Structure 1
Amino acid sequence: MPRFVPRHLLTDAALALVLVALTVGPGLVLGFVARTNPDAAKEYVDKTALPDGRLWWAFAALIVLGLLVRQQQPPLALVLTGAGTFGHLFTEAKLQLLDLALPLVLYTVAAVARNRRISLAVLALAMLLTYVAMVGGRIYVEQQEFAGKRRVQEQVERASVEKVVKTVPPPAPVFSADRLVNVGQAVMELWLLLVAAYAVGDAMRSRRAHLAAVEQRTADLAREERQRAALAVAAERARITRELHDVVAHGISVMVVQAQGASAALDRHPDRAATALQHVITTGRASLAEMRRLLAAGRTDPAEDARLAPLPGLGALPALIDQFRSTGMRIELHVDGAPAAVPAAVDLSAYRIVQEALTNTLKHAGPDAGVVLRLAFEPERLRVEVADDGTGLADGADGRGNGLRGIAERVAMLAGELEIGRADGGGFRVSAALPLPAPEITSIPR
């Protein structure tokens, strides 16, 4: 098969050839039947003789052309095939095998139609036109038969000496009830074929639309899944970055202060220098262990997970305060309300807020700065406030560094409230309100 010939075009050409052969084939074998049994072939000749009118072949050409273009141009194919079929019905007043191309093309139109209403309108129009063509064909054939019989009668009257009393009855009225009923019965077969072709084509269109919708939905779900995965990865990276910043900033700040104290006391107070250096070692190891825990959070090895330290929370605040006090910082802790268990996210966020606020005080508040740490357990929220009496913000600073930005992100994720600014008596103040879930109702009050 040549590469430039589409396969569907060859299929349609073969289909048209088969329909033409089935239509005109009986007329081709007429000679053989007539030779063997002329009497039996007479009736056969009347029904299946080979069409000899040029008009019939013109309409047949339109039908064949419509079949050839039905895949590329279904509307044009329907027009061509319909014109050919209507022409055959009008001139022959009967359905032929070649006219079955009309239901086939209607199937294609219904299968590719974008709107069901349009395809239904096309079906109704085709049924109406076939009925009109059949009615016109019956009238045309009857008029031709009446004219032929009149010519025969006139010839007989001219050749005969005696007057012929019997006359040819005129054809029935154009819109007689008998003719309309008979035409409806004759065209019913074609109507059934048209309806069946439309139903199959519309079912095919619905199935294709359903498959297209399913494929589109699958593609949308896959795209949404990739987007959720990308957002989850970005959120996890942001979380790890935030945690690393808190760990590194806190650990290095404490280690620097302890190292400075050790350097200052090295000559006069060797014991204090040794203690400070021991704090540096302890802080460094703790920070290194926490960094390893954060970086190994994505691993799935159970053996390694078992060695990871738990996430810090409010219970680790005393150790954190002692660590800062070892640097010489004065810290007062006030707890308002009855301490209660809080969700893990709030527990970790409160610890990190305190850690970052104390680290900022250590780095920016100046020497001999004191800090008041207040935890207030309320029914609907946990309030964390860290206020120092140091030098406060430097000139031109806006209080929006990386550490404070991390605090703001933690509070925003929990839908809490954050206040950052100068304290009443000087210094700097960080106040965060973290919402707590409503307590479960165990009984209905009466």
Structure 2
Amino acid sequence: MSTETGDDWRRPGPTGEQQRLDLYAGLAATALALLSLTLARSTGAFLLGPPPSGLEQLLWTVAVPLPLIWRRRFPAATALVVSAAFIGSQIRAVPEWQLSGWALFAAIYTLGAWGRDHRLSRRLRIGIIAAMFGWLTIAYAINYDVLTEGTFAGALGPVPPVLATVVTGLLVNGLYFAFAYFFGETAWVAARRQHELAEQAERLRRSQAEMREHAVVGERVRIARELHDVVAHHVSVMGVQASACRRVFDKDPAKARTALTAIEESARTAVDELRRMLGVLRARDGDGEGAGQPAGVDQIAAVVDRAREAGLRATLGVYGEPRPLPGSLSQAAYRVVQEAVTNVLKHATGASMLDVRIRYLAQEVEVEVTDDGRVTRPANADGLGLIGMRERVGTHGGELEVGPRSGGGWRVRVRFPLPVAGGAPPHPAGLGSPA
């Protein structure tokens, strides 16, 4: 994408259709110039002096407008050729000058509007206009004697005739070249602005495409996080229960049946949560039918119960005065506890105790999960579970601490800031690093 601005911008060349139009326009201007020459010769009014031969008049008349067929393809060369041919025809006193004058105007205009290098085209136009005024001055000097020999016998105005002629010529030519320069410059500026608008539209289109892509990626991450939280926890619980069932299947059928019942309940709960999650994903905006109530802090007790059924001495403590939490924050707290319990079941060797605590403080809610097991492998910062916890906590401006306890075991602690009175959320805290 181009980032050029001002005079550095180069206008793209003409299209094939524009080149064909220039061809037709140049040929039409040449035909009109030949018609104008025929009419001028027919009147016999040779204002520039005795004309050259008919063939030379024909050649000069064609030489001025014909290069316009390349005016947008080669604007600088066209302007120089047309200017040189125009001065040449004036020097040779060719009687056709009306259409030639319009051809010169078109060439200067096109150089300003279509010149590839705008700085160069500006210098060329100024040079051409200066050359034209130079030629006008020379023409007045050469024809001074002719102007004073009875040409103004009927002059009645207060201004001397020769001075009036010179001033009139300078005024008319000044306006002529000023308009040619101004319109060319205006066309170039308009084309540059149109180009900038097209670039802005393209940048906007790409930005929207990137936003859509980010939204899709974000949704995929959210789905992956939800699937991990739901599947990993319940599968881990079922794995622990299946292992216990295998060990006591022959010795204690009653305990085996209890373990199988726990596996069945975990599977049913996992299916229910997956169905709820899929309902949320399929629901339209504002349509929550079939989505069910998302899990929250009020369901943390069920997670602790499943850990207790898996053989851990699990406890849940709630401190402070419980208060309603925003739905997304409540769900984030639940998912953090669920993931922490899953990690205890999967990775903590010899764990016999699990302690979950929820503390309602003045401006935040704190959730802490500890155990007394030995971690068989170090915490993986790139693991999906830890990444999911960090994303959930970071979304709510909270702090996450993950690491071993000084007395043995492992701790996961999360602090979520609570909305202050009036609904304005507190300033988001930075995401804590693992302890």
Q: Per-residue deviation at 1:312?
A: 0.8
Secondary structure (helix, strand or coil) at the match of 1:67 reads helix
Q: Per-residue deviation at 1:107?
A: 1.6
Evaluate the alpha carbon distance shift between residue 136 and residue 301 of structure 1 in structure 2; reply closer, same or farther with a 3 A threshold.
closer
Contact 2:344 2:351 in 1 (8 A): no
Q: Per-residue deviation at 1:91?
A: 5.6
Q: Per-residue deviation at 1:241?
A: 1.0
Deviates more, 1:283-292 or 1:60-69: 60-69
Evaluate the alpha carbon distance shift between residue 328 and residue 208 of structure 1 in structure 2; reply closer, same or farther with a 3 A threshold.
same
Q: Distance in 1 between matches of 2:124 and 2:167?
A: 19
1:319 is matched with 302
Q: 1:29 aligns with which of 22, 42, 49?
A: 42
Q: 1:13 aligns with which of 1, 26, 43?
A: 26
Q: Distance in 2 between matches of 1:436 and 1:260?
A: 41
Q: Distance in 2 between matches of 1:342 and 1:13?
A: 78
Q: Per-residue deviation at 1:102?
A: 1.1
The residue type paired with residue 72 of structure 2 is Q
Q: Per-residue deviation at 1:116?
A: 6.9
1:436 is matched with 418
Q: Once the two structures are superposed, what CA deviation does each residue of 1:209-231 show, in whole Å capped at 9, x if it has no partner?
A: 23222222222111111111111
**Matches for 1:148-163 after TM superposition, within 5 Å:** none
Q: Distance in 2 between matches of 1:362 and 1:45?
A: 111
1:72 aligns with 2:55: no
The residue type paired with residue 397 of structure 1 is P
The residue type paired with residue 330 of structure 1 is R
Q: Distance in 2 between matches of 1:375 and 1:403?
A: 20
Evaluate the alpha carbon distance shift between residue 130 and residue 303 of structure 1 in structure 2; reply closer, same or farther with a 3 A threshold.
closer
Q: Distance in 1 between matches of 2:331 and 2:160?
A: 93
The residue type paired with residue 390 of structure 1 is G
The residue type paired with residue 389 of structure 1 is D
Secondary structure (helix, strand or coil) at the match of 2:72 reads coil
Q: Distance in 1 between matches of 2:187 and 2:176?
A: 17
2:5 is matched with none
1:362 aligns with 2:345: yes
The residue type paired with residue 279 of structure 1 is A
Contact 2:354 2:371 in 1 (8 A): yes
TM-score (norm 2): 0.78
Contact 2:19 2:70 in 1 (8 A): no
Which structure 1 segments of 5+ residues have no match? 31-43, 150-175
1:190 is matched with 173
Secondary structure (helix, strand or coil) at the match of 1:251 reads helix
Q: Per-residue deviation at 1:234?
A: 1.0
Q: Once the two structures are superposed, what CA deviation does each residue of 1:378-415 show, in whole Å capped at 9, x if it has no partner?
A: 34433222111112x22x63444432333233333434
Q: Per-residue deviation at 1:6?
A: 5.5
Q: Distance in 2 between matches of 1:436 and 1:115?
A: 61
Q: Per-residue deviation at 1:265?
A: 4.4
Q: Distance in 2 between matches of 1:113 and 1:336?
A: 78
Q: Distance in 1 between matches of 2:423 and 2:409?
A: 43
Q: Distance in 1 between matches of 2:177 and 2:136?
A: 15
1:51 aligns with 2:40: no
The residue type paired with residue 202 of structure 1 is E
Deviates more, 1:218-227 or 1:106-115: 106-115
Q: Per-residue deviation at 1:89?
A: 4.5
1:103 is matched with 105
Deviates more, 1:106-115 or 1:59-68: 59-68
Secondary structure (helix, strand or coil) at the match of 1:431 reads strand
Q: Per-residue deviation at 1:292?
A: 2.9
Q: Distance in 2 between matches of 1:379 and 1:86?
A: 91
Q: Per-residue deviation at 1:282?
A: 1.5
1:397 is matched with 378
Q: Distance in 2 between matches of 1:76 and 1:58?
A: 19
Q: Per-residue deviation at 1:341?
A: 2.6
Q: Once the two structures are superposed, what CA deviation does each residue of 1:97-119 show, in whole Å capped at 9, x if it has no partner?
A: 32221111112122224677766
Q: Per-residue deviation at 1:187?
A: 4.0
**Matches for 1:6-405 after TM superposition, within 5 Å:** 7-30=20-43, 44-47=44-47, 51-52=51-52, 60=61, 62-89=63-90, 92=93, 96-113=98-115, 124-142=126-144, 179=162, 181-267=164-250, 269-300=252-283, 306-367=289-350, 369-391=352-374, 393-394=375-376, 397-400=378-381, 401-405=383-387
Q: Distance in 2 between matches of 1:385 and 1:196?
A: 80
Indicate the percent of aligned positions where both proteins have the same amino acid: 29
Deviates more, 1:219-228 or 1:194-203: 194-203
1:170 is matched with none
Q: Per-residue deviation at 1:58?
A: 6.5
The residue type paired with residue 415 of structure 2 is A
Q: Per-residue deviation at 1:65?
A: 4.9
The residue type paired with residue 219 of structure 2 is E
Deviates more, 1:403-412 or 1:88-97: 88-97
Q: Per-residue deviation at 1:432?
A: 2.1
Contact 1:329 1:368 in 2 (8 A): yes
Contact 1:110 1:201 in 2 (8 A): yes
Q: Once the two structures are superposed, what CA deviation does each residue of 1:333-373 show, in whole Å capped at 9, x if it has no partner?
A: 23333322333332222111101111111223235511222
Q: Per-residue deviation at 1:281?
A: 1.3
TM-score (norm 1): 0.76
Evaluate the alpha carbon distance shift between residue 289 and residue 127 of structure 1 in structure 2; reply closer, same or farther with a 3 A threshold.
same
Q: How many residues align?
A: 396
The residue type paired with residue 110 of structure 1 is G
Q: Distance in 2 between matches of 1:7 and 1:441?
A: 67
Q: Distance in 1 between matches of 2:393 and 2:218?
A: 15
Q: Distance in 2 between matches of 1:72 and 1:178?
A: 44
Q: Once the two structures are superposed, what CA deviation does each residue of 1:118-177 show, in whole Å capped at 9, x if it has no partner?
A: 66655554444333222211221235789xx9xxxxxxxxxxxxxxxxxxxxxxxxxx98
Deviates more, 1:14-23 or 1:102-111: 14-23
The residue type paired with residue 434 of structure 1 is F
